[in-house]
Chain A
Amino acid sequence: MILLACPNCGPRNASEFRYGGEARPRPDLNAVSPEEWSDYVYMRANLLGVLREWWYHRAGCGLWFIAERHTKTHEVTATYVWTGEHV
């Protein structure tokens, strides 16, 4: 059971969270070509390494936050609240 540190609540079992997938910037709607939009909607890096991804503390405080997690070892190197523009 992955242990994930919610930035609000501290370390909790992964079963308290919903997985939100890879964090990717949403392209500028006015500048984006149809191909780029399709890539944004469908393509994924799916990398083997440290992935920046969204998690949601469903059974807790309701926070959506970013975790940096290795996709093979599951080691979580950072979790933080997102404060920037949309990613």
Chain B
Amino acid sequence: MSAETRRATRRLAGSPSQVIDRSRPLTFTWQGRPYTAYEGDTIASALAAAGVETFSRSFKYHRRRGLLCVSGDCPNCLVRAGDEPNVRACRTRVEAGMDVRAQNAWPSLDTDVMSLTQLASRFLPPGFYYKTFTRPRALWPFYEGVLRRAAGLGAVDPDAAPARFDHKVYEHADVLVAGGGPAGMRAALAAAGAGARVLLLEEQDALGGHLRYSGGDVNGQPAHEAARALAAEVRAHPNVTVMLDTLVIGAYDHGWFGAVQGKRLLKVRATAAVVAAGAHEQPLVFANNDLPGIMLASGVARLLHLWGVLPGRRAVVVSANPRGLQLARDLLQAGCAVTVAEMRATPEAALVEALRAGRVELLTGATVLQASGSKRVESVTLTLPGGETRVIPCDLLVLATGYLPANGLLNHAGAKPVWNAALNEFVPAGLRAGMFAAGEINGTHALAPIEREGTLAGLQAARFAGYGGDATENEIARLSAEVAAAQAQRAPWTPAQTLAPEQKKDFVCFCEDVTQADVRMTIEEGYDSMELLKRYSTISMGPCQGKMCNMAAMRLCAHHNRLSIGETGTTTARPPTRPVSLGVLGGRLLEPVRYTPLHDWHRAHGAILMNAGQWQRPEHYGDPLAEVRAVRAAVGLIDVSTLGKLLLEGSQVPDLLERIYTNRWRRLARGRVRYGLMVNEEGVVMDDGVTARLDDDRYYLTATTGGAGAVYEWIEWWLQSGWQLDARVVDVTELYAAMNLAGPYAREVLAAVASDLDLRDETFPYLGVRRGTVAGAPATLMRIGFTGELSYEIHVPAGYGLHVWQALMDAGAQYGIRPFGVEAQRILRLEKGHIIVGQDTDGLTNPFEAGMAWVVKTDKLDFLGRRALLMSDEQGHSKRLVGFTITGGALPEEGNQIVRPGAGPTGLEIIGRITSVRYSPTLDRVIGLCWLPVEMAMPGRTFTVRARGELLSGEVVATPFYDPEEVRLRG
């Protein structure tokens, strides 16, 4: 192939309606070959200008497909642009250097071997897959592999560098107007005139809608100039904000709308909305109606007027409305030979006269029977009144054959369109309060009534949003009457019949290659409602989501069921109105990682970090067993800043604690700390922690790292939903850094940096709380110990955290202090037999079963879960959480099951499970916690654990495993 850039052989001379800048050419590639475009071109317009006719291969039969709608509705121009698959060439501006390629074709777009499948189409009825390959079962994976190779259109490169677009924008408006055509612009002006703040969103890159490319005159002025004049008025209005290239993708609850502007997601809250989204032009169904060169009139009009591209030299225009005739005139003027097949008996006289003046042959009452051609349309066969047929050679077949309202946004908000038999269109009904529709979406296609409907909807929306007064009301009443009268007089722009008699390759659905015969057979098999028809034949399930096929499918469904179209009904339109990329929708992950004030220190000291809920915590600093030994033999320091921390104040805090915890709180003295367990109203363990009485009316509660948020909201709920207690709760989790200094030398280390605290056991005993100064920082110290050693939990304002930590590490150096992480703490607590809520307990665990009856005082008057616990206590318990060791020292894993011989598939029955297990360096044996049936839950009983497929022998051991007399803790 020559490297010469493809020239734009089909480009016309410049005209004022065009949007390309011929002074700024640019080069891009299509199928690896260079092409020229102008700034303002889309991929499609540039390729069409260069004479490209085949843009894609169809999904099932790999038939050639060319430009059809040129509006982003149909699947025909889906291409790959750069790394992005399934790009709509007609809606994507071409950029210099862009690498554009066809999809779904091999070895090339021009010779696609998969197109041979259409030769077998008679063997591929709808539901083919369901009826084949059911036996033998063993071969199905092979067949499936073959089918799967044929799947998909574009290809994505899943390993490409991430391209996320994290800029999301919020907008607020009194009135949102979706669509910047004549109806939308009028609506915006009317609403703004009444005083409302209006946000006008338009999918195209200019206001004006169909006037930009419809050709013809408006009140003696070219239509595109009228569009520009109206657009200028809209833009000049101070109450109107216009956003172009912005597609509204969905309408949601309470006036919430999503829109996409380029690569930005826009979220709008609007009090009222006017949907002026227009209509999708609809093709006819006839044999070979998918050949390249067969196009919708609006698509041809766009190419012609916006980009100066003439897509054929010899056109047949099939017309069912004045826009077809207007386009025929414009094609003629552009130098194209034109024949008009007018479906209506009495077309507009003025247009007919103008065409006849240009010596255009105009056949009235004609319809299309079939098209022919190999690589593109070469001729069309028309059926004329009386039944005779006529073959007309052509290279462009234009269909101006009616509309499907762009109902999506209305339907998202609950509207149910109704069939209007006079217009042959579905029109909106059942609109949600505050939503209004105007223009072509209503089945109104002539300009003056479109604009009137726009003005009316704009006023109604403004009024709904609280603007305008009596004058507005009067104007609404007057316009409503006018609109109603005009609507009653409308002539149909959509023909009553759009289906030629059933033939081969007459496509109802271009996305999925579904023909009329396919639809008929589907219905005959009983898939006779629109929803079943859609699911079985896959009609409307493809990229166009029914925009090109739904209407034809409904007509066929009605026909075969002998029902009216109204009775047949439609499928429900779902968001988004057009496909939107995950990158645009996803944005940034708004889920922060939480770091403690000591995080940098941990990282600098070799910590291996782990996730604990949202938090990052040190799992260990290289040698967790050494960390355990340090705590047992000397002293260690752990960052526990992630604990939930609540400050409780008020004269009735003891009542609050009595109700939220299972144990007693009334007699907790100042300066004392107590362990507490929370259960929910089912009696299931929720959380545990300690609460310290700091002062008469001040308490400090800690909750688990994972449970902190839920505990706070739980307490707040009970306080606010009827417990009228003098108690207030503040979540201070992030205000304090917390660390636990544990080990035989903890007192000495602390004493070195806490000069104003008397740390002697007599003055600061186990379960005491004191306020003091640690390394110069104000601190709250609790003498508690998850680890079982003498230990102080030190809470200081977050900003002092690092300083205090460093001071403790320095002071501990001479005692061999080590920082320890979560892993060492797990071993240490396990040696003491302490449970971890959520690990050793699950969603059904009650405290009795967990061996925590000691902390449940059911004789208290009331507490949350009391009734349930009384009931379960009466009912008795079937299982218990107990300590165990493994005979022989093998180390099972958490999650391993305790089994006995049984009737199950593997000859084993599950009777329990291991929730925690570790090698204990202190005791030099394996220890753990496990669930067992109560009858086995006594020390000395042995059981079998399945670990890594082997069966190990375990033995129940009393807890705590270590220091059961708590000599060290209280020392």
Contacts and interface: CB of A to CB of B under 8 A. Distances in A.
Q: Let me know if chains A and B touch directly in the complex, using CB atoms closer than 8 Å.
A: yes
Interface of A: 1-3, 13, 18, 20, 26, 29, 32, 34, 37, 40-41, 54, 56, 58, 62-64, 73-74, 82, 84-87
Interface stretch (B253-261, B449-457, B526-534, B838-846): B253-261
A41 B253 contact: no
Contact of B721 (A2, A40, A64): A64
Contacts of B99: none
Nearest to B861: A29
B867 A84 contact: no
A57 to B, nearest CB: 10
Contacts of B721: 54, 64, 82, 86-87
Nearest to A14: B253
A22 B702 CA distance: 29
A34 B713 contact: no
A20 B710 CA distance: 12
Contact of A58 (B269, B682, B713): B713
Contacts of B682: 41
A87 B722 contact: yes
Nearest to B258: A1
A63 B722 contact: no
Contact of A64 (B256, B716, B871): B716
B871 A18 contact: no
Interface in B374-430: 414
Contacts of B723: 86
Nearest to B863: A29
Nearest to A20: B717
10 contacts: A1-B254, A2-B254, A29-B866, A32-B867, A37-B867, A41-B868, A54-B721, A64-B721, A84-B722, A86-B718
B265 to A, nearest CB: 13
Nearest to A62: B716
A26 B863 CA distance: 12
Interface in B525-545: none
B961 interface: no
B681 interface: yes
A21 B718 CA distance: 14
A33 B859 CA distance: 18
Chain A interface, >50% SS class: loop
B713 A3 contact: no
Nearest to B731: A62
A63 to B, nearest CB: 7
B464 interface: no
A84 B721 CA distance: 8
B253 A3 contact: yes
B862 interface: yes
Which 5 residue pairs are nearest across A and B when measured between Cβ atoms?
A86-B722, A3-B254, A1-B256, A64-B720, A37-B867
Contacts of A34: 871
Interface in B144-202: none
Interface residues of B, number: 23
B467 interface: no
A21 to B, nearest CB: 10
A29 B713 contact: no
A60 B871 CA distance: 38
A37 B867 CA distance: 7
B347 to A, nearest CB: 46
A54 B722 CA distance: 13
Given A85-B722, A86-B723, A64 B252 contact: no
B712 to A, nearest CB: 9
Interface in B665-706: 681-682
A34 B875 CA distance: 11
Most A CB within 10 A of own CB, among B269, B713, B867:
B867
A56 B322 CA distance: 58
A56 B716 contact: yes
Nearest to A32: B867
B720 A2 contact: no
A29 B722 contact: no
Contacts of B862: 29
Given A54-B721, A86-B718, 6 more contacts: A1-B252, A1-B256, A2-B253, A3-B253, A3-B255, A85-B722
B644 to A, nearest CB: 15
B722 A3 contact: no
Most A CB within 10 A of own CB, among B682, B716, B720:
B720
Nearest to A76: B254
A17 to B, nearest CB: 11
Nearest to A40: B681
A37 B680 CA distance: 13
Given A85-B722, A86-B723, A56 B717 contact: yes
Contact of B867 (A1, A29, A56, A86): A29
Contact of B254 (A63, A74, A87): A74
B256 A3 contact: yes
Contacts of B414: 73
B269 A3 contact: yes
A86 B255 CA distance: 34
Contact of A82 (B252, B267, B722, B871): B722
A62 B862 CA distance: 26
Nearest to B874: A34
A20 B718 CA distance: 12
Contacts of B716: 56, 62, 64
Contact of B713 (A40, A56, A74): A56
Contacts of B267: 1
Interface in B716-773: 716-718, 720-723
Contact of B253 (A1, A18, A26, A62): A1
A85 B724 CA distance: 8
Contacts of A64: 716-717, 720-721
A84 B723 CA distance: 9
Interface string B290-314: 0000000000000000000000000
Contacts of B722: 26, 82, 84-87
Contact of A63 (B255, B256, B720, B871): B720
Nearest to B267: A1
B959 to A, nearest CB: 31
A3 B681 CA distance: 31
A41 B720 contact: no
Contacts of B254: 1-3, 74
A82 B255 contact: no
Interface in B269-288: 269
A28 to B, nearest CB: 10
Nearest to B719: A64
A73 B413 CA distance: 10
Contacts of B718: 86
Nearest to A36: B867
Interface in B96-129: none
Contacts of A86: 718, 721-723
Contact of B871 (A13, A26, A37): A37
Contacts of B866: 29
B868 A74 contact: no
Contacts of A13: 256
Contacts of A20: 717
A18 B681 CA distance: 19
A79 to B, nearest CB: 13
A86 B254 CA distance: 31
Contacts of A58: 713
B253 A74 contact: yes
Nearest to A37: B867
Contacts of A18: 713
A56 B682 CA distance: 22
A1 B867 CA distance: 38
A52 B840 CA distance: 36
Contacts of B252: 1
A73 B254 CA distance: 10
A82 B867 contact: no
A74 B414 CA distance: 12
A37 B916 CA distance: 33
Interface in B429-470: none
A73 B720 CA distance: 28
A37 B717 contact: no
